[in-house]
Amino acid sequence: MSVFNSVPPKISKIELIKWLKVNYSFFYNKNISVKELKSERDKNFLLKLKNKPLYVIKISNPAESISLLKLQDFVLNSLIKRNSVKNFIPKKIHSTIKVYQDQLNRDCYVRVLRFIEGKMYAVVNHNNNLEHSLGTLLGNLSKELQNLNHPNAFRKFEWDPSNISWIQKEINLFKGNNKKIINTNLYEYNYFIKKNLKNLRFSLTHGDANNYNLVVKNDLVSGLLDYGDMIYAPTINDLAVSLSYALMKKEDLYSSLKNVVISYHKIFPITFDEIFSLMTLVKARLTITVVMAEKQRKKFPYNKYLSISENDAWDLLYKLDRINPYLFIFLIRDYCGHQITKNYNKVINFIEKNNFPSVLDFNLNKINKSIINLDSNSIFTKNYNNNPKQITKKINIFLKKNDSQIGIGLYKEKRNVYQGNNFISNFNSKNRRNIHLGIDIFAPVGTKIKAPHDGKVFILKYN
């Protein structure tokens, strides 16, 4: 039976304390207490000695394989010896994995780890330093895991964002726009991930650096918990998984994404191919989150922890759905110091070597013209920001008065005329476009316009 279908251990705290004192010499005759921690499929308890939190008692789901627990212990023992990550890793206290019978007489495995003090990433205020520290930890983790290997890591796992084909059969759990988004993510998965897997680096991965497995102290990430999802998978998975949670509830996706990615890349350089798949892996992990929440809620309706990130995951999925996947690819290439497109040099050379003809039949330098100022102090937009017809009328009157054939709107001018919803930033809902990135030519109706180069019109949009 899968751990996702098995009821978590049922534990009596009183009986557990008695058992701990008998089975671990360092607890014998000690004044200890235990407090249950939130968990998905197993049971974890914070153990205090004389009211001081020191250890975490991890009791596995009865369906958990001991081979996977041995994998976790192997990784903990290995990483605790690596200088770049040792202070972030919970120290393994137990020498052997012991068996404990829960109240339903099921055998569960018990391990004891050192408690890492701090608050969860999910409940603290985020700032640039915190996000950079997250990227640095993830980069060091990827670097160190490159050197580790274990046979028990080679397995299929539902939470692996590089393999979400199984979600296709669950699609009818959803309706309307939710179903549409999941279908879109499955399509993008096939194109941006599945076809690209052969180009990605693989290694041991932590698999679950989510905001409830990251410990924070003094505004910096100070610990990484829960190694139960470790698998052999694309190395970039760990960055993608963590981003899928780190970007939740963020008004400014751009800054948070940049902070984490840049710091990761400084430690463990991201390849061109990994960038191609990264944000689709983020969306894949979020898709798993909402699908698993829907499935598990039907099986275990009273376990609220199973859907702890569900609403935030949907919110982020809707935000990401509004952004073209290639825009993310180009941005992250830029963050990492890569050229934003493989044809970058060809495009620049083409522009520099070619002289493009005028788009008008007349020479702008040889006719009467006027500058049309459309900034916040403009006489043309005053009282008419949302009325293009009135603005146009005032411009035409101004041009006629000044005996000008055309008017010129300025490049990089800061304007407040961008009032429509389509000008709101998809990366930050509080920001909207306010810089004009072109040159306006205000000319009489019927003025001929030519293309500056032979070709087809690829995009035409009227805002």
The two tokens of residue 132 are: 């950079």
pLDDT digits (tens, 9 = 90+) for 358-411: 889 888 889 999 999 998 888 888 876 668 888 889 999 999 999 999 999 999
> What pLDDT band is residue 77 in, cutting at 50, 70 and 90?
very high
Residue 178 has pLDDT above 70, yes or no: yes
Task: Name the band, by pLDDT with cuts 50, 70 and 90, for residue 38.
Answer: confident
- Length of the chain as a residue count: 463
For the chain, give the mean pLDDT: 93
pLDDT of residue 1: 63
Confidence of residue 163 (pLDDT cuts 50, 70, 90): very high
Q: What would the pLDDT profile of 322-366 be if each residue is shown by its tens digit?
A: 999 999 999 999 999 999 988 999 999 999 998 888 889 888 889
Q: Which residues lie below 8 Å from residue 139, measured CB to CB, with a gap of 6+?
A: 263, 264, 265, 266, 267, 268
Whole-number pLDDT of residue 332: 98
Topology classification of domain 13-114: Phosphorylase Kinase; domain 1 (3.30.200)
* β-pairing verdict for 406-409 and 369-372: parallel
**What pLDDT is attached to residue 431?**
80
CA distance 118 to 223: 8
120-335: what fold? Aminoglycoside 3'-phosphotransferase; Chain: A, domain 2 (3.90.1200)
303: pLDDT confidence band, cut at 50, 70 and 90? Answer: low
Cβ neighbourhood burial of 460 (10 Å; 0-12, 13-18, 19+): exposed
| Cα(278)–Cα(236) distance, integer angstroms | 7
Q: What is the DSSP letter of 423?
A: G
**Residue 360 CA from chain centroid, whole number:** 46
Q: Is the pLDDT of residue 220 over 90?
A: yes
Check: CB of residue 89 under 8 Å from CB of residue 103.
no
pLDDT at position 50: 86
Residue 56 and residue 461: Cα distance in Å, rounded? Answer: 58
Residue 377 φ/ψ, nearest 5 degrees: -100, 10
Q: pLDDT tens, 232-250?
A: 999 999 999 999 999 999 9
Contact 234, 258 (CB under 8 A): no
What's residue 373's pLDDT?
93
Q: What angle do CA 280, 148, 45 make, to 5 degrees?
A: 80
Supply the DSSP string of 124-182, one letter for each residue.
Answer: SPP-HHHHHHHHHHHHHHHHHHTT---GGG----TT-TT--GGGGGGGGG--HHHHHHH
List Cβ neighbours of 455 (8 Å cut-off, separation of 6 or more): none
Q: Which two tokens stand for residue 71?
A: 């994998």
Q: Is the pLDDT of residue 218 over 70?
A: yes
**For residue 306, what pLDDT is reported?**
61
Judge whether residue 463 has pLDDT over 60: no
Map out the domains of the chain as residue ranges.
Answer: 13-114, 120-335, 357-442
| Residue 416's pLDDT band (cuts 50, 70, 90) | confident
Mean pLDDT to the nearest integer, 47-67: 94
Task: Note the pLDDT of residue 385.
Answer: 62
Quick one: what percent of the chain has pLDDT higher than 70?
A: 97
Residue 85: pLDDT band (50, 70, 90) is: very high
Give 278-300 pLDDT, tens digit per residue.
Answer: 999 999 999 999 999 998 887 77
Who wins on pLDDT, 134 or 428? 134
SS3 of 375, please? coil
For residue 192, the 8-state DSSP code is: I
